[in-house]
Structure 1
Amino acid sequence: MGGYEAELPAKNAEGDLIAAAQHIVAALGTKKLLSQDERKILVDLRAQLTTMTMVDDPKTVNESIIKGVSETEQYLSVISDKIMNRVSDESMIWDSGPEDVSEYLKAVDEARALTERFESLCLSKDDEEVELLRKAHDVLQTAMARLEQEFEHIIVQHSQPFEPEHMSFRSSEGDGAVGSPYSLDDDPLEDSLQRESVGKNLEDFIVDLVHPDVIPDLKCIANLMLVSNYDRECSRAFVNSRKHALSRCLFALEVEPLSIDDVLKMEWASLDSQIKRWVWAFKIFVRGYLASEKRLSDEIFGGFGSLSDLCFTDLSKAAFMQMLSFGDAVAVSPRQPEKLFRVLDMYEVLVQLQPDINSLYTDKAVRDEFCEVLRRLGDAVRATFLEFKNAIATNASVNPFAGGGTHHLTKYVMNYLRLLTDYRDTLNQILEDAERDESLSPSAESVAFTDEPNQLDGSFAPMTFHFRSMTSALIANIDEKSKLYRDVALQHFFLMNNVHYMAQKVKNSELRDIFGDDWIKRHNGKFQQQAMNYERATWSSILSLLRDDGIQNSGSNSSTKNILKERLRNFYAAFEEVYRNQTGWLIKDSQLQEDLRISTSLKVIQAYRTFVGRHSNEISDKYIKYTADDLENHILDLFSGSQRSLNNIYRK
């Protein structure tokens, strides 16, 4: 019984081994693909079997132990020869065909399995075992170095260009320097105030940066290197092989590495062009190139935890930070009103791309820097917006504006505000976020510029408050400029022109939604009041000559005729003076020009006809210099901006 009990475990162990082997064979018969763990186990099993001999009886056990080290060393030598023969050949293995690739991969996998076997068994300090392990590591390291070369070679040879210049969503403003569209010297925004494209219609445009046919080969190499604990070498090979492609992309996007000093030294026309190109390029770089690069990294390293993210970050971080640095440089540069639209373009692009950046990068440093640049651009928008309001208030003139027409400042400000309506949501959000900022809260200065009822009751959006504050500042400035005219009538004429221009700009543009109809109504009343003030200042004293005051009690008929003759002479002289001066005054708006001519004509012609008709018996025709029709035609010449003189000969 004792002998039977001692022998039973050995027989059971042998039966279990056979059953397990049969189970493995059956399982393999139903599989077409192996997982990485399954493959590793089978490779380890094969390596272990090569170090074992068939045991028929207990005597062979001792013999196998004695022979084990020498046979394993021989097996390692065979694997080493296979690898070294292939490594010594300068031709690339993956260019030689699938048989060579398969043979080399098999040899490398055997070297890996054998090395792991040695590491698990080499627990003693036996010099012979340690030396054998060192040799195995050397063989594996040589094999991995060649795989690293092959990996880089495949990526480089099968890389496909990223060509942003051929993308259909390219902005039409992408190439070509354009001067500043925001100059007080002219009215460049007058006729074509349309927001330039910042690529809002750009869709994700992910392309294959490496030909899809070689992705399985790259994954195979990566898998083998990673299970061999050569992940650092593999990721280095990936980054090195893609750096040139990244440089080519930046070159194609024409993105220059500019420092803060470079930006500060640039003329506005050049900086304007650089910003427009950056806005276009940054969106393509993120949603096109970086997204494509991230997909490539995921395809190769996606099954190995965070390695894909690390490879992508190592490759792209420096270039991405370079792109961000330009935005940072613009954000901290001096606040100038002409920059506001460009800074808003940059801000909007970063807001649009923030979800993309969070998806692409797990690196907190990258995300934090992105958010910091976004914050600084928002601060720049707010500060520049305030600077614009201050610029309106402090814009000074030494000489009166020729012709009393619409001042360049008025055109500039209203067109500036109209252009800002394209950024309504963005600007409202930025201003709303800054309401807690003391510098943007309703200050004494802003209240002084404000003549709007209920302006500060909180019922308006931030843009409405600030826009109304700016127009109030503009009217106050225009009022100061009007005082440069000596002629009181021209002061009112100048104010009428400018307030009318403001009201029409709001009424006939997107500004209407921001200012509201009540604002338009009140400012229509303001320019109409100025028109009435102009008429009184110009014509009241002249029309008083056509009244009968002092004529009825003049005494003799001869005295009455002399008074009438003198009244007409003075009236004609005053009318000619108005004609000579006010034909040089300008109303550019045709409707306002016609309305004021008609209003003037009704008052002057009616008074003249009445006066001449009432005294037709006392006034000889030779003293009638102009008929009512003549005067009416002359009034139609007023406000044309071209000074004229009437013929100074009495009508015969």
Structure 2
Amino acid sequence: MEHLILTRDLLNTSLHQSRQIDFEIHKTAANVTRINHAFPSLEAAIRNMACKCATFGIRNHVDRALPTVSAVFKVSQVVNELGKLVSTHSASDLNLYLSLVKRFRQALTLLTNTCKLAIPWVEDVKLFLLDGTTDLGVGVDHDHPYQSNVCKTLHLLEELQGTEERSLLDQGILGVAFNKLEDEFRRLLIHNSSPLQVPSYLFSSGDEESDASDPLPPPPLPFPIVQNLRAIAVCFACDNQLDQCMSIYIKVRSTIVKASLQGLDLGYLDISLSEFDSVQEIEGYIDEWGRHLEFIVKHLLELEYTLCHQVFGQLDVWTDCFSKIALQSGIQGFIKFGNTVTKGKKEAIKLFKLLDMFAALNNLRQDFNRIFGGTPCSEIQTQTRDLIKKVVNEACEIFQDLSAQVELQRLTDPPPDGSIPKLVSFVTEYTNELLDNDYRPVLNQVIKIYSSWYDNNKFTKRLVSLEVHNIVKSLERNLVTWAKRYEDTGLSYIFMMNTSCYFSKHLTGTNLGDLMGESWIKRHQNHVEYYATLYLRESWGKISALLDNNDGDVKKRIRGFNEAFDQVYRKQSGWVLCDRGLRWETCQLILQVIIPVYKRHIQNYLALVESEVSPNKYVKYSAESLESMVTCMFQPKLDKYENSTKYTNLMGKIKNVVAGRFSPTTAAA
């Protein structure tokens, strides 16, 4: 439809121009006819004057002027013939038409130069006639036939000398020819240009590989069309008319680029973000941004870069042409969106998105340097360098602040049920992701660049490892502080069992576990056993001791056991052991502490009170009911930690953990 509209406009314009051209051609034909009628008579008059003045000194002046005047007449006839051909031929047969225009242009130049040569000779004749000391005896008056013929000849020569200049005017022959060539240039571009098809992978989440069925980008334009466009451009350049040709090219190709981008939803490029807004609100767009930027640079603008060079490469203006198309393509909108991301809140999640942005820009670095390397693209170069600087600075500042942000959480309270704080899972998953092969090389490169700017190249490859190690150590200090805040010592042991189990079990074989070392993992394994022993001694050892105590009667000991068990069970029923294996082992240890002793005392009690009416009066629990109750303890409300040997979708989980810089309200809950 767009092609049809453009074609309609082109036909209307051509029709209007044709009417004007027809009028000017008739006007020009009348002038040429007048000159053709006047010139032979003037030439004959001058020759007659030369015959009459053969015995005078003027003869030599006239003889010298006549050959050049005659040459002007012959050249003007050639110009007239070529002008008619240029005016009447169509530009559809482009090679022929360009040849006619070139020959006409050369004939005009020859006419101008011949006139410049002839005019001084004719002026010499005019001055000789006016001189009163000539061989004629007296000076010739202005109204003398000789003088009149010379003046007419001089006037015609001056008029012919201006033919070239007049032909370049809007309705001159060359002006009309250029209008035809402009229309042909526009037609070739419009009818042979089509929007680039958007690959299907740009509509996916970005995790899938590109569909093999996606068509490869077609060549910019067929080679014969490129040749014709280049020939027209060269023709325009010969007469300093290239600006109009470039204007047409930029308008048409920019329209094609914009049409290619219509298949993408790029509205997100105009999103605004303040320093108080979270990047989580637009993180999905950041992934799209990287894929879309790659498409526009590697495919759309690469194609335009190649085509500009093919059409205008010989004329040293192709980089200007490309820069204007690039600016109109919307590339600056992508840079603006990148700047928007850097303005958002400095939160931990933002680091990954900044690294994604840096990776996208770095992957396109060679392409940017090549296609935007010229002086006309200096604006894009400056804006891109500024964006990269902001991304690097922001990423390094967030990374360097992570350890301090972990320490700030020390002021918050631990989970009331002794479960694993969300900060623990967040930090371990977060640092594991930083150490992954997808992010660690990028982070190293970002820190290296930052170091070269501000730290005198003090970068080492161990810098990331050292900082992550510091983060984990800060987290461990938080755990010790939190454990001391529990009023119940048994709950503090449960808390330390949970966290040590998490470290030893879930970090084994991970990037973070490898960084911290085998001895660190082993230490936390030992901590699980150590705190489990302390927990059993603190919570259940005292209950077991009530039955082993031989003081008092059996009934009293059983009643004391029941009360102590009820109290412990009621208090600890809300406590949580997050790991299924640890929960089962702990329950088994509790049963080993109390069940054998309980069974023995129940049997002794029943043997002593066989004669009583209600022998089970003081036996509140059977051994089986105690086992059932104990094995149901420490169950989490949502068993979200079971079978979680490795989290593969970090970003989805972090969304539920952090609302800001390790949000205090959620990190320790």
- Fold shared by both chains (TM-score > 0.5): yes
Change in 2 beyond 3 A, CA 1:219/1:547: same
| Residue identity opposite 2:325 in structure 1 | L
Change in 2 beyond 3 A, CA 1:438/1:537: farther
- TM-score (normalizing by structure 2): 0.68
CA contact (8 A) 2:201 2:209 kept: no
Q: Which of 415, 425, 431 is the equivalent residue of 1:417?
A: 431
CA contact (8 A) 2:274 2:345 kept: no
Shift of the alpha carbon at 1:368? Answer: 4.0
CA contact (8 A) 1:204 1:287 kept: no
Shift of the alpha carbon at 1:614? Answer: 9.0
Is 1:308 aligned with 2:339?
no
Shift of the alpha carbon at 1:161? Answer: 1.5
| Residue identity opposite 2:291 in structure 1 | W
Shift of the alpha carbon at 1:225? Answer: 2.6
CA contact (8 A) 2:108 2:163 kept: no
Counterpart for residue 638 of structure 1: 633
Change in 2 beyond 3 A, CA 1:438/1:78: closer
Aligned ranges 1:172-321 → 2 under 5 Å:
172-173=204-205, 206-210=217-221, 214-256=225-267, 258=269, 261=272, 268=279, 270-302=281-313, 304=314, 306-318=316-328, 319-321=330-332
Q: What is the alpha-carbon distance in structure 2 between the residues aligned to residue 498 and residue 440 of structure 1?
A: 40
Counterpart for residue 68 of structure 2: 65
Shift of the alpha carbon at 1:351? Answer: 0.6
Q: Which has the larger radius of gyration?
A: 2
CA contact (8 A) 1:209 1:296 kept: yes
SS at match of 1:169: helix
CA contact (8 A) 2:339 2:387 kept: yes
Q: What is the alpha-carbon distance in structure 1 between the residues aligned to residue 490 and residue 453 of structure 2?
A: 44
Counterpart for residue 161 of structure 1: 195
| Residue identity opposite 1:377 in structure 2 | V
Q: Which of 426, 433, 439 is the equivalent residue of 2:442?
A: 426
Counterpart for residue 538 of structure 1: 539
- TM-score (normalizing by structure 1): 0.70
Aligned ranges 1:482-501 → 2 under 5 Å:
482-501=483-502
Shift of the alpha carbon at 1:390? Answer: 3.7
| Residue identity opposite 2:442 in structure 1 | T
Q: What is the alpha-carbon distance in structure 2 between the residues aligned to residue 201 and residue 321 of structure 1?
A: 30
Aligned ranges 1:142-161 → 2 under 5 Å:
142-161=176-195
CA contact (8 A) 1:160 1:208 kept: no
Counterpart for residue 398 of structure 2: 384
| Residue identity opposite 1:376 in structure 2 | K
CA contact (8 A) 1:222 1:234 kept: yes
CA contact (8 A) 2:414 2:483 kept: yes
CA contact (8 A) 1:485 1:491 kept: yes
Q: What is the alpha-carbon distance in structure 2 between the residues aligned to residue 223 and residue 80 of structure 1?
A: 20
What's the CA shift string for 1:516-538, capped at 9, x where partnerless? Answer: 43332233333443333333332
Counterpart for residue 357 of structure 1: 368
Change in 2 beyond 3 A, CA 1:242/1:433: closer
Counterpart for residue 418 of structure 2: 404
Shift of the alpha carbon at 1:350? Answer: 0.4
CA contact (8 A) 1:601 1:635 kept: yes
Question: How many residues are paired up?
Answer: 525
What's the CA shift string for 1:419-445, capped at 9, x where partnerless? Answer: 332312111222344457889999xxx
Change in 2 beyond 3 A, CA 1:436/1:210: closer
Shift of the alpha carbon at 1:287? Answer: 1.1
Shift of the alpha carbon at 1:316? Answer: 0.6
CA contact (8 A) 1:294 1:360 kept: yes
Counterpart for residue 580 of structure 2: 590
For structure 2, the 5+ residue unaligned runs are: 1-61, 121-157, 639-669
My pick for the range that moved more, 253-262 or 467-476, is 253-262
Shift of the alpha carbon at 1:610? Answer: 6.9
Q: What is the alpha-carbon distance in structure 1 between the residues aligned to residue 358 and residue 215 of structure 2?
A: 19
Counterpart for residue 36 of structure 1: none
Shift of the alpha carbon at 1:130? Answer: 4.3
Counterpart for residue 155 of structure 2: none
| Residue identity opposite 2:441 in structure 1 | D
Change in 2 beyond 3 A, CA 1:350/1:437: closer
| Residue identity opposite 2:195 in structure 1 | P
CA contact (8 A) 2:79 2:108 kept: no
Shift of the alpha carbon at 1:387? Answer: 4.3
Change in 2 beyond 3 A, CA 1:533/1:211: farther
Q: What is the alpha-carbon distance in structure 2 between the residues aligned to residue 271 and residue 638 of structure 1?
A: 42
RMSD between aligned residues: 4.0
Aligned ranges 1:381-530 → 2 under 5 Å:
381-395=395-409, 401-420=415-434, 421=436, 422-434=438-450, 461-507=462-508, 509-530=510-531
CA contact (8 A) 1:199 1:280 kept: no
Q: What is the alpha-carbon distance in structure 2 between the residues aligned to residue 262 and residue 200 of structure 1?
A: 34
CA contact (8 A) 1:414 1:505 kept: no
Counterpart for residue 589 of structure 2: 599
Is 1:135 aligned with 2:166?
yes
Counterpart for residue 556 of structure 2: 566
Shift of the alpha carbon at 1:379? Answer: 1.5
Change in 2 beyond 3 A, CA 1:519/1:561: closer
Counterpart for residue 82 of structure 2: 79
Aligned ranges 1:1-20 → 2 under 5 Å:
none
My pick for the range that moved more, 611-620 or 312-321, is 611-620
Is 1:345 aligned with 2:361?
no
CA contact (8 A) 2:302 2:371 kept: yes
Change in 2 beyond 3 A, CA 1:400/1:67: same
Shift of the alpha carbon at 1:121? Answer: 6.7
My pick for the range that moved more, 152-161 or 141-150, is 141-150
Q: What is the alpha-carbon distance in structure 2 between the residues aligned to residue 617 and residue 83 of structure 1?
A: 131
